[in-house]
Structure 1
């Protein structure tokens, strides 16, 4: 049995890595980030606007986190991706992925099809809103990475290499 969580700030590559990891292992993927993006699109909002909306509507985060936790607990083998997955999923091998902010902003600009300057401003604002929400709703300091078994700089490795590092560390941790 195994559970692996993949967390990180926006643009760090968590969704890409989690998808590749789940494929490689043949495990189910649960992605909080994709649910959050889908809910934003459904409401016709940018991620920054939806983050602002979520700050005044705690039921959004609570719904996503509860759903993620319940789905993960039902699965024998699962990769769970999301900013708070490492905090929410018990009995898991926990991975934090990070990258230099400018690398993250460039990735977000490319993914969203927006100007780099806009990605920079919106992402900084979104991160600030999320920090406040996580502190207010859960008493979680998102900058505290001490709960993670492994932290990887995605600016230094390709997604496939990160998956190999995670698999090696996961294997070593289970011995």
Structure 2
């Protein structure tokens, strides 16, 4: 089974994906972390790398999209945190995390020391919120242009959760429960289909 996670900046995508994968004993793929690593190698912030990706999609967004498809084909049980994972893996359990801008910015500010490569000289909540909004606009624009899909549209997902006021352990617990319900329904549907075709 594959779980795909997308969400607003600062909603906890990567952290929750890692914890969920550990509980389920699944492998993980964090596209956001890979993008930050590549951006850093190029001497760019994430925002600058996103702008570069708009002009160079073959070596930017499409490269990471091909990577996630390749990884998904090789792994049976996988949790993927990434913008386009839900789109390329429609049979996955598709999750979207929302968060308010102030709370998302607060979380990002807390993790800046972990070298998120979010942007240059971001010190205040207001500056981080501005950076978040620019990032959302860039992501929306790029993926609509490349794939004609709105990555922030809730109806594209099986499970949507606002993490603004929920502690991470509780988010993980809720997601795990929702996944198990989805999994049972899917297995029941497959069994019913197999019985009909036999």
* TM-score, normalising length: structure 1: 0.94
Q: Deviations over 1:109-131 (max 9, x none)?
A: 22225312321222211111111
Cα displacement (A) at 1:147: 2.1
Q: Which residue of 2 aligns with 1:22?
A: 21
Q: Which residue of 2 aligns with 1:170?
A: 179
Give the alignment's Cα RMSD to 1 decimal: 1.2
Q: Which residue of 1 aligns with 2:193?
A: none
Cα displacement (A) at 1:74: 1.4
How many equivalent pairs are there?
A: 174
Q: Deviations over 1:11-58 (max 9, x none)?
A: 111000001001111110011111111111111111111111111111
Is the 1:20–1:163 Cα contact (8 Å) retained in structure 2? Answer: yes
Is the 1:98–1:154 Cα contact (8 Å) retained in structure 2? Answer: yes
Q: Deviations over 1:38-88 (max 9, x none)?
A: 111111111111111111111110000110111012111100111222112
Q: Which secondary structure does the structure 2 equivalent of 1:167 belong to?
A: helix
Q: Which secondary structure does the structure 2 equivalent of 1:6 belong to?
A: strand
2:166 to 145, 148, 157: 157
Q: Which residue of 2 aligns with 1:88?
A: 88
Q: Which secondary structure does the structure 1 equivalent of 2:155 belong to?
A: coil
Q: Which residue of 2 aligns with 1:52?
A: 51
Q: Which residue of 1 aligns with 2:148?
A: 139
Gaps of 5+ in 2: 114-121, 185-198
Is the 2:7–2:152 Cα contact (8 Å) retained in structure 1? Answer: no
Gaps of 5+ in 1: none
